[in-house]
């Protein structure tokens, strides 16, 4: 039987296991990336593991999420990260050089290679045939030290593209259509592999908009084959030798197949406050718009911003609306500036931000209360923009610019008809990506050869091995689709404590219940209870580490998001799946006891655990974990586990 493209790449990198869906596999990682808000823990853990040199072909440290450096704590983090990159042998991309996914795509991503990144949108370069996966920082640290990365072999689902996008429909609308059909949990345990004649109608940056937002489906990754467009794009970014032809075997068998006829795609928009709340733009037309932002790792490249510049040439942003461009990379800004487009946009009333994540996580450009913001980003989880009860819509640059011109949501096709002289700007690539490389410090140019830690950079707390007896209150009962933004928000006031876990923990779940952290500390133990898809969104391991620090011992949920579940194992928290009836019956405050000898049961492979509630009724919790995950959990987390193994054998940390 032939192989899918995903299977081919995994096979080339397989170090353990079989490519059977649901089975755990270990793969070798060629490249890693990390960024400023997850990177500090990555390097602190790399250090704690006793590792002293990057072992992967390439490692890159970006400073992109919080580049305004409002507080010395952010700047200290950046200085520490530069020193870590220098000390251990990684590329360092200076603050303001751009968002990790954009800069990595433009400078390092290569077809056929594996990439592991401590950011959930790491799958972005799947658009050029790289198998890229997001994970918690500890997994990145281990991979960077030469260890394998373990995942459950996903189901490979074909997304067959036919036809060609009509005028005003874009790649963003393709992935919004996927979200409309499949929902934010439709991709859990899956890799989406794009095939079919429609593929060749999309350029690499259009493909990477689709693969970037595959994360919002909950997917492990998304990937496109390579072709003339990939070759052409790699030439434009000055890396023609990185091209490799990659296609699935003709007789490849997919677990499932979805067909999208591109010619049926129309401008779509995700309404507040979930990326799968997708409707045709026409359905919400007429809604007044206060803010428009074009940018982010989804649509922040030069060719994503160019349509806005073309649409606004000779026009002005409506008086009711503020429009901001947040470029994905400084290279995009530099090229737009050199070609005069920045001046055109500024003359139209547009403001430019640094090339940073910024507004995407509520750092700057926080919307006004009761206002509408249209963004070309990938997430619109409630409160993520920096204000509770926000109203953030997600759309393409064309739909966003049309709204900026009209001052209200409008389908660009209708605006074009109304204005008479507004043409579809199309999607145009630059002849060459000509931005300077001044902000990338190569490992052999390193400025530092020792770690520089400011006062806000603490140690990573360790947990004791799992107890035989787990008992405590249901500290908090939550709904479906709780995001890691709920668990540890990423807004500026909180983000600056990412390297200081005791302080950061004070904000745990504050967006759901601001008394949670105090109650958890006082109770010294207990459980979280949640519905479906608990922990979707960001890869931030802080969302497991902080509850662990507060004494939480386990999470009882109807289902878990992939990266977060791995993070729960990595920090020694027991993730038990419960059914809908048990979820309904458990009340916040109930006394929960796991009746079995938990440590022993976890190690021995037991799958069903008896949950005793209020000493009154019992239910079953299921532990879906590999033998490796069970050992990690029982040892009190991956750091403790790898260190123990390392000490035992004196071998490199490759668990
Ligand atoms: C996000 O988009 O939520 C983030 C901020 O990029 C996170 C990483 C983080 O929390 O630092 C992600 O996607 O993993
Ligand atoms: Fe940055 Fe937003 Fe992309 Fe996350 S989703 S990497 S915060 S731009």
> Do both 28 and 123 map to the same domain?
yes
Question: In sequence order, which residues have a C-beta less than 8 Å from that of residue 518 and are 6 or more positions away?
Answer: none
> Do both 46 and 133 map to the same domain?
yes
138 lies in some domain = yes
> Do both 236 and 281 map to the same domain?
no
> Do both 318 and 187 map to the same domain?
no
Q: How far is CA 555 from the centre of its chain?
A: 22
State whether the beta carbon of 635 lies less than 6 angstroms from ligand 1: no
Give which of 543, 623, 653 is closest to 142, Cα–Cα: 653
655 lies in some domain = no
Q: Based on the number of CB atoms within 10 Å of its own CB, is 473 exposed (0-12), middle (13-18) or buried (19 or more)?
A: middle
Residue ending a domain, choose from 261, 285, 316: 261
> Do both 249 and 287 map to the same domain?
no
435 lies in some domain = no
> Do both 251 and 327 map to the same domain?
no
What number of other Cβ atoms are within 10 A of residue 134's Cβ? Answer: 26
457 lies in some domain = no
216 lies in some domain = yes
3-state SS, residue 455: coil
461 lies in some domain = no
Residues 527-551 as b or e (16 or more Cβ within 10 Å = b): bbbbbbbbbbbbbbbbbbbbbbbbb
**pLDDT computed for residue 650 by the predictor:** 62
Rounded Cα distance, 120 and 281, in Å:
27
> Do both 241 and 334 map to the same domain?
no
**pLDDT computed for residue 595 by the predictor:** 94
State whether the beta carbon of 38 lies less than 6 angstroms from ligand 1: yes
Atom of ligand 2 nearest to the CA of 64: 1
Give which of 63, 231, 53, 28 is closest to 133, Cα–Cα: 28
State whether the beta carbon of 294 lies less than 6 angstroms from ligand 2: no
316-373 pLDDT, tens digit each: 999 999 999 999 999 999 999 999 999 999 999 999 999 999 999 999 999 999 999 9
pTM over 0.85: yes
**pLDDT computed for residue 654 by the predictor:** 46
**pLDDT computed for residue 645 by the predictor:** 79
DSSP codes, 469-535: -EEEEEEEE--SS-BHHHHS--SHHHHTTTT-HHHHGGGTTTTT-TTHHHHHHHHTS-EEEE-SSBT
What total of structural domains would you count in the chain?
Answer: 3
Q: Flag residues of the chain having pLDDT under 50.
A: 653-655
DSSP codes, 365-405: -PPPTT--EEESSS--BTTTTSSTT--EEE--HHHHHHHHH
Rounded Cα distance, 48 and 54, in Å:
14
Contact 561, 531 (CB under 8 A): no
452 lies in some domain = no
Which residue's CA lies nearest to atom 4 of ligand 1?
538
206-233 pLDDT, tens digit each: 999 999 999 999 999 999 999 999 999 9
> Do both 9 and 153 map to the same domain?
yes
Structural domain harbouring 19: 5-261
Residue ending a domain, choose from 238, 261, 284: 261
329 Cα: distance to centroid of ligand 2 (angstroms): 12
> Do both 207 and 246 map to the same domain?
yes
Atom of ligand 1 nearest to the CA of 379: 2
Read off the CATH number of the domain in which 486 is found: 3.20.19.10
539 Cα: distance to centroid of ligand 1 (angstroms): 6
Task: Give the number of whichever ligand sits closest to the CA of residue 488.
Answer: 1
> Do both 26 and 139 map to the same domain?
yes
State whether the beta carbon of 296 lies less than 6 angstroms from ligand 2: yes
Residue ending a domain, choose from 261, 284, 306: 261
271 lies in some domain = no
Read off the CATH number of the domain in which 171 is found: 3.30.499.10
């Amino acid at each position: 039987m032939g192989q899918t493209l995903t299977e081919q790449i995994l096979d080339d990198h397989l170090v353990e296991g079989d490519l059977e869906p649901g089975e755990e596999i270990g793969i070798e990682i060629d490249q890693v990336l990390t960024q400023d808000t997850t990177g500090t823990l990555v390097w602190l853990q790399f250090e704690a593991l006793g590792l002293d040199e990057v072992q992967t072909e390439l490692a890159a440290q970006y400073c992109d999420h919080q580049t305004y450096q409002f507080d010395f704590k952010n700047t200290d983090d950046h200085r520490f990260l530069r020193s870590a990159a220098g000390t251990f042998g990684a590329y360092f991309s200076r603050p303001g050089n751009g968002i990790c996914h954009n800069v990595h795509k433009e400078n390092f991503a290569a077809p056929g290679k594996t990439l592991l990144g401590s950011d959930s949108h790491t799958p972005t370069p799947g658009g050029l045939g790289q198998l890229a996966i997001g994970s918690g920082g500890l997994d990145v640290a281990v991979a960077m030290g030469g260890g394998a990365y373990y995942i459950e072999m996903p189901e490979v689902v074909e997304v067959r593209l036919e036809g060609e996008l009509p005028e005003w429909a874009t790649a963003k609308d393709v992935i919004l259509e996927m979200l409309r059909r499949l929902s934010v949990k439709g991709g859990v345990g899956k890799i989406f592999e794009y095939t079919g004649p429609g593929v060749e109608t999309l350029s690499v940056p259009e493909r990477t908009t689709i693969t970037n937002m595959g994360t919002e489906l909950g997917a492990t990754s998304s990937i496109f084959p390579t072709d003339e467009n990939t070759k052409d794009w790699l030439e434009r970014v000055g890396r023609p030798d990185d091209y490799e032809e990659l296609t699935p075997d003709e007789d490849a068998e997919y677990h499932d197949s979805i067909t999208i006829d591109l010619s049926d795609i129309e401008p779509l928009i995700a309404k507040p406050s979930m990326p799968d709340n997708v409707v045709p733009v026409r359905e919400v037309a007429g809604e007044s718009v206060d803010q428009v932002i074009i940018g982010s790792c989804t649509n922040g490249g030069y060719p994503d911003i160019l349509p806005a510049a073309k649409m606004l040439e000779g026009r002005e942003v409506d008086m009711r609306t503020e429009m901001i461009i947040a470029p994905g990379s400084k290279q995009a800004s530099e090229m737009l500036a050199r070609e005069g487009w920045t001046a055109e946009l500024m003359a139209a009333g547009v403001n430019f931000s640094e090339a940073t994540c910024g507004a995407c996580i509520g750092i700057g450009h926080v919307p006004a209360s009761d206002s509408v913001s249209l963004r070309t980003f990938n997430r619109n989880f409630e409160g993520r923009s920096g204000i509770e009860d926000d109203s953030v819509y997600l759309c393409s640059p064309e739909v966003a610019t049309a709204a900026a011109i009209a001052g209200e949501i409008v389908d660009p096709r209708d605006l074009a008809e109304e204005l008479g002289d507004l043409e579809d700007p199309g999607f145009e690539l630059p002849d060459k990506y000509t931005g300077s490389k001044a902000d990338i410090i190569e490992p052999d140019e390193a400025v530092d050869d020792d770690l520089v830690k400011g006062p806000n950079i603490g140690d990573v707390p360790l947990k004791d091995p799992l107890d035989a007896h787990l008992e405590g209150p249901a500290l908090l009962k939550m709904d479906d689709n709780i995001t890691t933004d709920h668990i540890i928000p990423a807004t500026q006031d909180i983000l600056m404590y990412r390297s200081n876990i005791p302080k950061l923990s004070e904000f745990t779940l504050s967006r759901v219940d601001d008394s949670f952290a105090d109650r958890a500390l006082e109770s010294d133990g207990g459980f979280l209870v949640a519905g479906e898809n608990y922990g979707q969104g960001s890869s931030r391991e802080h969302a497991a580490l902080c509850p662990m620090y507060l004494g939480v011992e386990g999470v009882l949920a109807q289902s878990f998001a992939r990266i977060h579940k791995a993070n729960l194992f990595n920090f020694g928290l027991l993730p038990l799946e419960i059914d809908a009836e048990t979820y309904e019956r458990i009340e916040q405050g109930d006394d929960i006891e796991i009746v079995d000898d938990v440590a022993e049961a976890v190690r021995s492979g037991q799958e069903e655990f008896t949950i005793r509630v209020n000493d009154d009724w019992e239910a079953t919790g299921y532990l879906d974990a590999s033998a490796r995950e069970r050992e990690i959990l029982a040892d009190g987390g991956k750091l403790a586990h790898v260190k123990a193994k390392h000490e035992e054998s004196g071998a490199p940390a490759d668990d």
